[in-house]
A and B are shown apart, each in its own frame.
Chain A
Amino acid sequence: MVTEEDKIFAKNFRIDDLSDVPAGLPRHRKLKQNRVVSKKDASVDTADAIYSGGYVSSGVDNSVKLENFYEDFKVDVISCTETDMEFDMIGIDAAFANAFRRILIAEVPSMAIEKVLIAYNTSLIVDEVLAHRIGLIPIAADPRLFEYLTENDQPNEKNTIVFKLHVKCPKGQPRLQVLTNELQWLPNGSEFLKETGGSTSTSNSNSKPKTYTSFSCSQDSLPEYAESPITPTYLDILIAKLSPGQEIELEAHAVKGIGKTHAKWSPVGTAWYRMLPEVVLLGEVEDEKAERLVKVCPQNVFDIEDMGNGRKRATVAQPRNCTLCKECIRDHDLVDLVDLRSVKNHFIFKIESTGSLPPDVLFTEAVKILEDKCELVLADLS
């Protein structure tokens, strides 16, 4: 006989409430959820997170929650110098990591030479090729101190940096190399006079002659550049070679821009990320197999451990070095013993800066840019 009590009990019964029923996803499903497994032929389970209701039948809520993100997100800085940086981002989605990478490469602004005013060029390098080369030179100037130069603006001290290059190879001397250390910074703006044209301008003979830029004050007055001049990041880049008698005289104007317009404005040499590799031995790898495994890995991921009695065993010593080259699973007897996985939400980021800003500042700027984009969309939607 089924009593009322039994009916109420059956209605309210939840199997997950029992103490010995495991909570969350079973282990193999969890593996599918947050690990990419690299098999011999291809990678498996590469799909990103399933939608929020994907695991409802297992009683697991897969929706992304802000509080969870606040708790889980971690950053681990491995190394940080003036030019390179390696750090780990844990608990973040691949979409974010990719967004930061793309913004770093294409949308963080920097200064690069845009206009090259060539007064005299008798070198073997053609004008336009010379201008192209000069444009690609990285300049050590903080782009946050400058504004963009739009079509309606005059080039002035807030949006332009002016360099001068005047080199001549004297006769009787050997061939001369023109390096970036010959680029001199002109803090007072352009020195080339603009042609005013027409004879009606005789009344203005007392005023300052017009140049290609209208600097109202010297850029020396900026505190950052009062002591040290603005120079290219590397002073030994070869621009051109001059034979005796050849001369180059030009002025280069640098402006602010983003990598999307032209790669010369990309502030990073490059920026990339990879997922944290996880190498797991699925069984005991002993003696001869262990030695083979250790030898075959080009990154020294595995190591030998003595078990006593002269027997050896392979262990995973440095999984972080693994490049997923899959050499260890080429042999048919090793393929079932090694599992190569990547952790889906742990990214090892590397940023190589070209010198305009240190790499940690570059990353902060990239995140700021993504924030600004969100704000733009929000403002438009409201």
Chain B
Amino acid sequence: MTYPRVTLAGYSIPHPSLECVNVRVQTTGDPAREVLKDACQELMLMNRHVRSVFDKDVSEFKEEQAHLKAEEERKNAEEEELKKQRDLLESMDIESN
């Protein structure tokens, strides 16, 4: 309905058991069939856009997650190294004492 060439757009389903949808399109002068086709085309393009944006964001998100996880693991590894060194020093101190 927010399509500029359309004055009226509607659908109705005559009976739920029948797989049939009546679509009504009224335009500002252009042939209704063409306007409907153009609208479908735009719909398809919008869908493709949604898909591409979504896929991009999900892969970015997963990369970030992987990054954060790698960072965490690196920090844990560093901490463990430091701990080992500290233990070594302590044991050396005890020996010298």
Contacts and interface: CB of A to CB of B under 8 A. Distances in A.
A241 interface: no
Nearest to B50: A367
B57 A378 contact: no
B2 A62 contact: yes
Interface of B: 1-4, 6-7, 33, 36-37, 40-51, 53-55, 57-58, 60-62, 65
Contacts of B48: 371
Interface string A359-377: 0100110011011001101
Given A75-B54, A96-B50, A367-B54, A66 B3 contact: no
A49 interface: yes
The B interface is mostly helix, strand or loop, or mixed, namely helix
Nearest to A361: B58
Residue of B40, B47, B57 with most partner-chain A CB within 10 A: B47
A364 B51 contact: yes
B55 A73 contact: no
Nearest to B44: A374
B11 to A, nearest CB: 12
Nearest to A77: B61
Nearest to A376: B40
A49 B7 CA distance: 14
Interface string A209-245: 0000000000000000000000000000000000000
Interface size range on A against B:
20 to 34
Nearest to B57: A75
A89 B62 CA distance: 17
Nearest to A63: B4
Contacts of B53: 73-75
A17 interface: no
A367 B51 contact: yes
B54 A66 contact: no
A374 B48 CA distance: 11
B50 to A, nearest CB: 6
A180 B54 CA distance: 35
A370 B33 CA distance: 20
Given A371-B47, A378-B37, 15 more contacts: A50-B2, A51-B6, A64-B3, A70-B49, A73-B49, A73-B50, A75-B50, A75-B54, A75-B57, A76-B57, A96-B46, A367-B50, A371-B48, A375-B44, A382-B37
